[in-house]
């Protein structure tokens, strides 16, 4: 379906994004000591810069910086600690590299500090429901906010897809009421959050219905438990399964994918963009 609520082109520094012409790869940069996949590997400025530069070379246009692990059972940290972790790295990324930077946080004060440090996008795993003031930060700075589907428990009274759509509509309403422009609202189905494996699969199968809401759609399935459960594989062997979810998602309305394995997934995305007719192959 046509992106009725998106801008024609998004410009973040020297980076230009047009979701109608390409599927965008977002590279994950966790600057935490305890992320489920790569905790502790990139929590210094030099290491973060090297990893971000590598992901950009491999095809990432957006670098998603996370200062607090969101894995199941994670230990929350204070806003001040999260700000201390992410602001020096965001400042370095925007100073040294040509990329768009998103901040993976659900806290309004962290989002404010991140945007002040140069972040271009807010990525909220609670869809502006944990701290609704985060939508006001997006509105004030006129930056896109990614609203992910989430809830406290994986309990659904009606078919899961119906409730996911209702929950996302509530998040959109919070953002609009805070003054966020429609063109600055992006959505995420929240694969791996408040859903068991069967529910995650059902939401994957319903991606087109979320895309039909008219907002850019981010898919973040990289190395997640759903893939491990289906394939019977540990975290470090889930790249191929991630690729399958990415290709499926692209065929069902996704516009951006958030991944760890940027080189491999970027190649799949580029090939799929040609096959689905989003980009033209030139001899």
pLDDT in tens, the chain (283 residues): 579 999 999 999 999 999 999 999 999 999 887 444 444 455 688 989 999 999 999 999 999 999 987 766 667 889 999 999 999 999 999 999 999 999 999 999 999 999 999 999 999 999 999 999 999 999 999 999 999 999 999 999 999 999 999 999 999 999 999 999 999 999 999 999 999 999 999 999 999 999 999 999 999 999 999 999 999 999 999 999 999 999 999 999 999 999 999 999 999 999 999 999 999 998 8
List the one residue out of 34, 27, 35 whose CA is nearest residue 53: 27
Per-residue buried b or exposed e for 211-244, using 16+ beta carbons within 10 Å of the residue's own CB: bebebbbbbbbbbbbbbbeeeeeeeeebbebbbe
Residues designated catalytic: 224, 258
Between CA 25 and CA 8 the distance in angstroms is: 18
User: Concatenated DSSP letters for 143-163?
Assistant: --EEEE---SS---SS-HHHH
Return the pLDDT at 39: 45
Question: pTM of this prediction?
Answer: 0.94
Between CA 58 and CA 67 the distance in angstroms is: 23
| Residue 164, both tokens | 């996911």
| Residue 127, both tokens | 């869809």
β-pairing, 24-30 vs 62-66, is parallel
Between CA 214 and CA 119 the distance in angstroms is: 24
Are the C-beta atoms of residues 272 and 279 closer than 8 Å to each other? no
- Taking 3-state DSSP, the helix, strand and coil percentages for the chain, each rounded to the nearest 5, stand at 45, 15, 40
């Amino acid at each position: 379906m046509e992106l009725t609520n998106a801008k024609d082109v998004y410009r973040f520094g020297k980076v230009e994004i047009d979701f109608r012409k390409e599927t965008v790869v977002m590279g994950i940069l966790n600057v935490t000591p305890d992320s489920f996949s790569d905790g502790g590997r990139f929590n210094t400025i030099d290491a973060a810069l090297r990893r971000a530069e590598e992901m950009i070379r491999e095809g990432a246009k957006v670098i998603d910086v996370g200062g607090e692990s969101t894995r199941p059972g994670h230990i929350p940290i204070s806003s001040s600690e999260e700000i201390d972790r992410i602001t020096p790295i965001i400042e370095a990324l925007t100073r040294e590299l040509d990329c768009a930077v998103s901040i993976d946080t659900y806290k309004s004060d962290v989002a404010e500090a991140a945007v002040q440090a140069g972040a271009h996008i807010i990525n909220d795993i609670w869809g502006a429901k944990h701290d609704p003031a985060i939508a006001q930060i997006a509105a004030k700075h006129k930056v896109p906010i990614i609203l992910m589907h989430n809830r406290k428990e994986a309990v659904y009274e009606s078919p899961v897809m119906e409730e996911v759509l209702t929950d996302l509509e509530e998040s959109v309403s919070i953002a609009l009421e805070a003054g966020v422009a429609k063109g600055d609202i992006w959505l995420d189905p929240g694969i791996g959050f408040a859903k068991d494996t069967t529910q995650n699969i059902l939401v994957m199968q319903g991606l087109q219905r979320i895309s039909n809401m008219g907002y850019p759609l981010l898919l973040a399935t990289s190395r997640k438990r759903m893939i491990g459960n289906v394939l019977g594989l540990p975290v470090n062997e889930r790249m191929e399964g991630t690729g399958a979810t990415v290709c499926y998602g692209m065929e069902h309305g996704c516009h951006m994918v958030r991944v760890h394995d940027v080189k491999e997934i970027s190649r799949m995305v580029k090939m799929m963009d040609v096959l689905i007719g989003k980009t033209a192959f030139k001899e």
